[in-house]
Chains A and B, each alone.
Chain A
Amino acid sequence: MSFIVFRYGSTFKSCCRFGLLRAARCLRLCSAAALLMLTVCDRHDSGRASDKTVASQPVVVGSKPVSSEAMTPKQMYVAYCSACHTLELVESQRLDRTNWEWVMDDVVNEYGGTWITEQEREILIDYLVENFGPAGDSGEAAP
């Protein structure tokens, strides 16, 4: 659950950064969106108590997940890697560890994923190598 709160933390930040909405309105909408998610995504909905947590203390700018330990690597991947773009491109990559490390360096240093900790970085790289690692050749003109 915490990562959902966190996700809206970053949403909040970016919508304010671009000056598209007044901060208060932005905050309200982000929490409404988070609530909406709770309603439609039952998979991560661990019950009423956590709904309340999200509803009553919605978003702290730049906040980290209270704990990312509760997340599986897959949940972390989905939550973190789709914060800025959709995942199709990530999933069509077939990269070795060196290249995934390189992408991750850019995500953190160039693209703004500064909140990813060293430990999370390792978990994510393992997940990416395992699931989107090198495959055979590129299959041009495959009959």
Chain B
Amino acid sequence: MRRRPRELNWDFLRGFLADHGADPVDLDRFEVFRSRRRFFSRVGKGGLLALFAGFGSGADAALNGLFGRGLIPVALADEADKPTVPDKPGMLVHISHPISGEFPPHLLDDDETPTARHYVRNNGGIPDRAIDRNLEGWTLTIDGEVQRPLELSIDELKKMPSVSMPLLIECAGNGRALFEPRVRGNPWRRGAIACSRWTGVRLNDVLKRAGLKDSAKYTAHYGEDPPIGQAKPFSRGIPIKKAMDDHTIIAYGMNGEDLSAHNGYPVRLVVPGWVGSCSQKWLNRIWIRDKEHDSQKMRGYSYRVPTHPVVPGSRPPKSSMAVATSWIVKSLITRPTANDKFSVGQKIPVAGHAWAGEDAVAKVLVSTDYGMHWQEAKLNPPPNKYAWYRWRTELSFARKGYYEIWARAFDDKGNAQPFRQPWNPKGYLGNVIHRLPVRVNI
């Protein structure tokens, strides 16, 4: 009978691979993965996943399948249930491979979101290049409907005039968990948004250098992330008008440093105010097209919303779906923290952010009685059109009890956040008002 190992550890695994004919090159890779293990998203189980990740995309997932719920060796089970990402402490992980995770609102209070608190939404694996921080052989290709196709090295990119500004990136599905009836996909609550400082080159400068042909209508973005399964490479695009906006940038800096591996090292697009999938990570090609991009993630129901309001729970025909583009008016309460306790009469600073995609925020109102009365918060404009506004107010409660602080933003076109989440089949563009529970003397 084959004996079960007493302890499943790295040495055992290495010995096992050696015994079963892995060649020296592979054993070297094993050591690399062993040391890289720290980087990966899970302790214990993640280490094992990481080990096999290097042996081909899919190997890690397959291994995970065998270690799936109920099959995880007991020694690893406890650890495996608590996914953590070393460089993103406090991240609520929705899925560890491909990794997606968000932060609770009270950790998003900064005007410029620190890298450690920038949400992560991956559709595939993280490229080796990003993990190893290896620039070798990296170029950015600009081709398609241009006069002069380009192939830019990172140095050439950095030689071009640069800009640096805080810009909003928000996952199209942020708020999905608040849809009723429930819809498929990552159950984002409110934290799949960030406003980090991005440094890079204006996309329009690069496109001018390549020379757009009259036929240029749309961009198509590609990155280096390995797809999972037989999924097509993740790719989305934007109309040329948005590509030419001064705030749409090819970023090589994030909060004053190189990009983090999770957020797109070495280079990503930042298409602020639009659904996050436009902001291609690990970018290496922009193909200029003569029509709307038609990749898998541009068609069907992917990143598409109905052209008219639909019955909740129903699925309109594909012909009634249109590409999701800019975000709509929204706000977040970042202070206090949900379920904080206060005393009667205490002065409570309340603060948060507001934003409205392509539009300006006109005002933010706050209520503590389920919307019967509202008071206007002080609103500070953002440093640029695509960063978030800061709002602040002060509250105090005259009687004890359970309260909900509600925030409601209005844009300059007269739109306000809804009280109930309007519904669409994939749960995109959720902007229902934020309700934050607090307790006073109870």
Give chain A's interface residues, CB within 8 Å of chain B: 4, 7-8, 10-11, 13-16, 18, 20-21, 25-26, 28-33, 35-45, 48, 51, 74, 78-89, 91-96, 98-99, 102-103, 110-114, 134-135, 137-138, 140-143
Are B2 and A7 interface neighbours, CB within 8 A?
no
Query: Does B319 touch A at the CB level, under 8 Å?
Result: no
Q: Given A18-B56, A86-B64, A143-B437, 12 other A-B contacts at CB below 8 A?
A: A11-B56, A11-B59, A15-B55, A29-B59, A30-B59, A39-B4, A40-B5, A48-B1, A78-B65, A85-B229, A96-B313, A143-B339
Question: Is there a chain A Cβ closer than 8 Å to B94's Cβ?
Answer: yes
Residue pair A40, B62 in contact (C-beta under 8 Å): no
A111 to B230, CA, bound (A): 5
Q: How many residues of B contact A (CB 8 A)?
A: 67
A140/B5 contact (C-beta < 8 A), A18-B226, A111-B230 known: no
Measured CA separation A91–B68 after assembly (Å): 12
User: 7 shortest A-B CB distances, which residue pairs?
Assistant: A15-B56, A112-B230, A14-B58, A82-B65, A84-B229, A78-B68, A89-B95
Write out, one digit per residue, whether chain B residues 21-35 have a CB within 8 A of any chain A CB (1) or not (0): 111011000000000
Give 1 or 0 for each of B74-116: 1 = CB within 8 Å of chain A CB: 0000000001000000000111111010000000000000000
The answer to whether B61 and A84 touch across the interface, beta carbons within 8 angstroms, is yes
Contact B404 A8 (CB under 8 A): no
* Bound-state Cα–Cα, A7 to B338, Å: 44
A89 to B185, CA, bound (A): 8
| B226 proximity list for chain A (CB < 8 A) | 18
Q: With A and B bound together, what is the CA distance between A14 and B26 in angstroms? A: 18
List residues 208-253 of chain B with CB under 8 A from any CB of chain A.
226, 228-231
| A82 CB contact (under 8 Å) in B68, B181, B187 | B68
Does B97 contact A85, Cβ atoms closer than 8 Å? yes
Chain B 1-45 near chain A by CB (<8 Å), digits 1 or 0: 110110010000100110011110110000000000000000000
Chain B neighbourhood of A33, CB < 8 A: 52, 55, 59, 62-63
A137→B177 CA distance, assembly (Å): 10
- What are the residues of chain A within 8 A of B5 when measuring CB–CB? 39-40
| Docked pose: A35 CA to B13 CA in angstroms | 11
- Counted as pairs of residues, one from A and one from B, with CB atoms less than 8 Å apart, the total is 189
Residue of A nearest to B83 (CB): A88
Q: A11-B62, A82-B61, A143-B402 are in contact. Are A112 and B231 (CB under 8 A)?
A: yes
Interface membership of chain B positions 245-283, coded 1 if the CB is closer than 8 angstroms to chain A and 0 otherwise: 000000000000000000000000000000000000000
Interface centre among A10, A43, A103 (most CB of B within 10 A): A10
Q: How far is the CB of B372 from chain A (nearest CB, A)?
A: 17
A interface SS class: helix
Question: What is the interface of chain B, defined by CB distance below 8 A to chain A?
Answer: 1-2, 4-5, 8, 13, 16-17, 20-23, 25-26, 52, 54-59, 61-71, 73, 83, 93-98, 100, 177-184, 186-187, 226, 228-231, 296, 313, 315, 338-339, 402, 404, 432, 435-437
- Chain A residues, Cβ within 8 Å of B231: 84, 110-112
Q: Given A25-B23, A87-B69, are A92 and B187 neighbors across the interface (CB < 8 Å)?
A: yes
Task: Enumerate chain A residues within 8 angstroms of B435, measured Cβ to Cβ.
Answer: 140-141
28 A-B residue contacts at CB 8 Å? A15-B56, A20-B54, A20-B57, A25-B26, A29-B17, A30-B59, A31-B20, A33-B62, A36-B20, A39-B16, A44-B71, A78-B65, A79-B68, A82-B65, A83-B61, A83-B65, A84-B58, A85-B95, A86-B95, A88-B95, A89-B94, A95-B182, A110-B231, A110-B296, A113-B229, A134-B182, A138-B182, A141-B338
Complex formed: what's the CA distance from A47 to B201 in Å? 61
Taking the closest CB of chain B, its distance from the CB of A82, in whole angstroms, is 4
Name the residue of chain A whose CB is nearest to the CB of B436. A141
Chain A, residue nearest B46 (CB): A86
Check B404–A32 contact: CB distance below 8 A: no
Closest to B21 in A: A28
Chain B residues whose CB sits within 8 angstroms of the CB of A141 once the complex forms: 338, 404, 435-437
A54 to chain B, nearest CB (A): 11
Chain A residues contacting B63 (CB-CB under 8 Å) are 11, 33, 37
Instruction: Output the nearest chain A residue to B406 by Cβ-Cβ distance.
Output: A141
B335 to chain A, nearest CB (A): 16
| Chain B: minimal CB distance from A128 (Å) | 11
Rounded to whole angstroms, the CA-CA distance of A117 and B323 in the bound complex is: 32
The chain A residue with its CB closest to the CB of B435 is A141
Contact A93-B57, Cβ < 8 Å, known A88-B96, A111-B231: no
Q: CA separation between A91 and B100, bound complex, in Å? A: 14
CB distance from B429 to the nearest CB of A (A): 16
CA distance A98 to B315 in the complex (A): 10
Residue of B nearest to A51 (CB): B2
Question: What separation, in Å, do the CA atoms of A98 and B181 have in the docked complex?
Answer: 12
B26: chain A residues at CB < 8 Å are 25, 29
Looking at the assembled complex, report how far the CB atom of B418 sits from the nearest CB atom of chain A, in whole angstroms.
13
B131 CB, min distance to chain A CBs, angstroms: 14
Q: Which residues of A contact B432 (CB under 8 A)?
A: 140
Contact A93 B296 (CB under 8 A): no
With both chains docked as a complex, state the minimum distance between the C-beta of A68 and any C-beta of chain B, in angstroms: 14
Enumerate chain B residues within 8 angstroms of A88, measured Cβ to Cβ.
83, 93-96
Contacts of A93 in B (CB 8 A): 182, 184, 187
**A74 and B70 contact, CB distance less than 8 A:** yes
